[in-house]
A and B are shown apart, each in its own frame.
Chain A
């Protein structure tokens, strides 16, 4: 089934096609170079990439919140038949919170430091669902219960700084869920938390994903988080998705050398590039983005970016090792 078909039949919640984003300014450079990613209804799809690879920019593009310096150079983002990139700001603000809920890494990004947290969750409800004060309060309390905020009635009146990091993130999750959105966008939802608290929040998210059958766009640099939550994973490198498939397939038997290197922790980060690191310019614009670090690189890898190739029916990989020969032959 083509992407357009899937969109029409409503099986795909979000479809990012050929998204290009460039950072302008003195050292203007592309960050995303044709990102493709689909989120089927009811699934959690992770975008996995190192810090600085452009994950948050992709999320901001979906939310129409790109910073001034970032410019969309190509592509479309289809959300329920609508291209979000073409949507007027006013319509977008209706979608945000109402149909798309957001969970950021830093609770401080989403929370107003001067407003009682219960009220903040209520605002979202009253704004989008035009609920009365009392009805909203009841819903807020049950949301707080749902996300495991201890003693909701007392916490309702707390300001964000009076809560521990874990409880704050639960409040942010409650806000994201408030309007029962169709899609949750979670950008590094546990990266700011300590180990034992991270485990709690991941447990909460995975239960919510199951119970509410949510569609989730998960963004993370951490393979452990992806393994804990995602159904599918797309691996981002050099502005494109180099591998995309079922999370078990990808993490247990990576097809792309970059995914394999990330899993084994054996990322070398290229040759020392003193003074070129600011601009991050690649030697040849049309080369495999993993070229400099790849043990399997051959001549053709320098000449062009590998095309999307489907292997095992359900997995996409962009690597010359897979255009003719099988992975295992190439890599072992």
Chain B
């Protein structure tokens, strides 16, 4: 599955820095850089569902926008179906974009309140210069509604007439309208109530299965990716710290942060409440990230080298990559066999290009 021909979407050491003016009162108005994404690499195979988890502000949505080329990376390349989409523009880019779609967290604000469902879907279809007209168009729209489980009577209605879960169905139908091969769902159920959450997750699962669409599933909780994704990437302060098959990630997490995330999952069993393992502190500001390993101020295993040296992605198993200087066997820390190749001084960039 690592054969490049099967890969639909790939980020190769992409970075995105935003310049942000400090708020009022903070001095001269000098611009500072927010490193939202820091040399992240990720591959998604055709038809596969990959999860991306991390705490809010760690750069998940930004990485999603980079993969769809809704934004230009400040560094690195983004590939889609064999083309470097950081180098194409105009019609060629639009052709690629048509095959990728995004579903957002808040369906209410991503739907035009003045459009009926029919308007919304028709616009999505025709915006991409589809030649569908008349009967064929109507049939396509009916099939879409059926796919997302909305009755045909919804066509004449406006977004405010639907519940949150139903609105999310409409935005899924809109995303599917152009028959994409790759979908990014950015926390698609975070804003929904419990009942709708379960329904929308099931719907997305069946979309993936039946249409064979590849998914990047962005979430802030481990439970969702465990249910939805065959592989999962964990992000911390702009960096992907671990990327592995979901099962391996849950069974044998290799990065201390992944380990901590798993331990801070809440149990529904009141008898397990004493088993809370706490990570000290909070994710630092991306305006002023710690040197070396971003995680070192909170890491129970941090060593001198963690404070100065940035850990690079390092394979630790089949399809299992981790950015940490050490290997762990339970809580037992050891130096990896050959570590020298993986170290470089923070700040210096010596990059391997594909």
Binding site for B on A (CB under 8 A): 50-52, 164-167, 194-200, 202-203, 206, 221-225, 227-230, 247-248, 251-252, 262-263, 265-270, 272-275, 277-278, 293
Tell whether B4 is near chain A: CB-to-CB under 8 Å. no
- B351 CB to closest chain A CB, in angstroms? 31
Interface residue stretch chosen among B41-49, B145-153, B240-248: B145-153
CA distance A273 to B107 in the complex (A): 18
Please give, as numbers and ranges, the residues of chain A lying within 8 Å of B210 by CB-CB distance.
none
- A169 CB to closest chain B CB, in angstroms? 11
Question: 6 nearest interchain CB pairs?
Answer: A224-B266, A269-B195, A194-B55, A277-B163, A199-B264, A267-B195
The residue of chain B having its C-beta at the shortest distance from the C-beta of A248 within the complex is: B270
The verdict on A203 contacting B163 (CB below 8 Å), with A251-B268, A268-B198 known, is no
B265/A165 in contact, CB under 8 A: no
A196/B270 in contact, CB under 8 A: no
The residue of chain A having its C-beta at the shortest distance from the C-beta of B220 within the complex is: A194
Interface residue stretch chosen among B63-71, B72-80, B176-184, B272-280: B272-280
Please give, as numbers and ranges, the residues of chain B lying within 8 Å of A278 by CB-CB distance.
160-161
| Chain B contacts with A in 162-178, Cβ cutoff 8 A | 162-163, 165-166
CA distance A205 to B153 in the complex (A): 49
Binding site for A on B (CB under 8 A): 55-56, 149-151, 153-154, 157, 160-163, 165-166, 193-196, 198-199, 220-222, 260-261, 263-273, 276-280, 282-283
Cross-interface CB contact of A194 among B199, B272, B283, cutoff 8 Å: B283
Interface centre among A194, A197, A203, A265 (most CB of B within 10 A): A194
B220/A266 in contact, CB under 8 A: no
The residue of chain A having its C-beta at the shortest distance from the C-beta of B265 within the complex is: A195
B266/A265 in contact, CB under 8 A: no
- A232 CB to closest chain B CB, in angstroms? 11
- A303 CB to closest chain B CB, in angstroms? 24
CA distance A194 to B281 in the complex (A): 12
B264/A227 in contact, CB under 8 A: no
A52/B266 in contact, CB under 8 A: no
Please give, as numbers and ranges, the residues of chain A lying within 8 Å of B260 by CB-CB distance.
196
Cross-interface CB contact of B161 among A222, A227, A274, cutoff 8 Å: A274
Please give, as numbers and ranges, the residues of chain B lying within 8 Å of A251 by CB-CB distance.
268-270
A277/B266 in contact, CB under 8 A: no
Please give, as numbers and ranges, the residues of chain B lying within 8 Å of A272 by CB-CB distance.
149-151, 166
A265/B198 in contact, CB under 8 A: yes
Interface centre among B150, B198, B266 (most CB of A within 10 A): B266
Pairs across A and B, CB under 8 Å, 24 listed: A51-B193, A52-B193, A166-B282, A194-B282, A195-B220, A195-B222, A195-B265, A197-B55, A198-B264, A199-B266, A202-B276, A203-B278, A225-B266, A227-B267, A227-B269, A228-B273, A248-B271, A251-B268, A251-B269, A251-B270, A265-B194, A269-B165, A269-B195, A272-B150
A267/B266 in contact, CB under 8 A: no
Please give, as numbers and ranges, the residues of chain B lying within 8 Å of A293 by CB-CB distance.
195
A247/B270 in contact, CB under 8 A: yes
Please give, as numbers and ranges, the residues of chain B lying within 8 Å of A230 by CB-CB distance.
270
Please give, as numbers and ranges, the residues of chain A lying within 8 Å of B263 by CB-CB distance.
199
B264/A196 in contact, CB under 8 A: yes
B166/A277 in contact, CB under 8 A: yes
The verdict on A274 contacting B195 (CB below 8 Å), with A196-B260, A199-B276, A228-B266 known, is no
- B249 CB to closest chain A CB, in angstroms? 15
Please give, as numbers and ranges, the residues of chain A lying within 8 Å of B272 by CB-CB distance.
227
The verdict on A274 contacting B273 (CB below 8 Å), with A195-B264, A265-B198 known, is no
- A258 CB to closest chain B CB, in angstroms? 11
CA distance A199 to B265 in the complex (A): 8
Please give, as numbers and ranges, the residues of chain B lying within 8 Å of A50 by CB-CB distance.
193-195
Cross-interface CB contact of A164 among B151, B220, B278, B282, cutoff 8 Å: B282
B149/A224 in contact, CB under 8 A: no
A227/B266 in contact, CB under 8 A: yes
A268/B157 in contact, CB under 8 A: no
The residue of chain B having its C-beta at the shortest distance from the C-beta of A197 within the complex is: B282
Please give, as numbers and ranges, the residues of chain B lying within 8 Å of A203 by CB-CB distance.
276, 278
CA distance A265 to B202 in the complex (A): 12
B151/A274 in contact, CB under 8 A: yes
- A162 CB to closest chain B CB, in angstroms? 10
Please give, as numbers and ranges, the residues of chain A lying within 8 Å of B264 by CB-CB distance.
195-196, 198-199
CA distance A221 to B264 in the complex (A): 18
Q: A195-B220, A228-B276 are in contact. List 18 more A-B contacts (CB 8 A).
A: A164-B282, A165-B282, A194-B220, A196-B55, A197-B55, A199-B263, A203-B276, A221-B194, A224-B265, A227-B269, A247-B270, A248-B271, A268-B195, A269-B195, A270-B195, A274-B153, A274-B157, A274-B162
CA distance A198 to B198 in the complex (A): 23
CA distance A200 to B266 in the complex (A): 12
A224/B268 in contact, CB under 8 A: yes
Interface centre among A230, A265, A274 (most CB of B within 10 A): A274
- A198 CB to closest chain B CB, in angstroms? 7
Please give, as numbers and ranges, the residues of chain A lying within 8 Å of B151 by CB-CB distance.
272, 274
Please give, as numbers and ranges, the residues of chain B lying within 8 Å of A273 by CB-CB distance.
163
Please give, as numbers and ranges, the residues of chain B lying within 8 Å of A198 by CB-CB distance.
264, 266
CA distance A50 to B194 in the complex (A): 6
- A53 CB to closest chain B CB, in angstroms? 9
CA distance A229 to B276 in the complex (A): 12
- B27 CB to closest chain A CB, in angstroms? 14
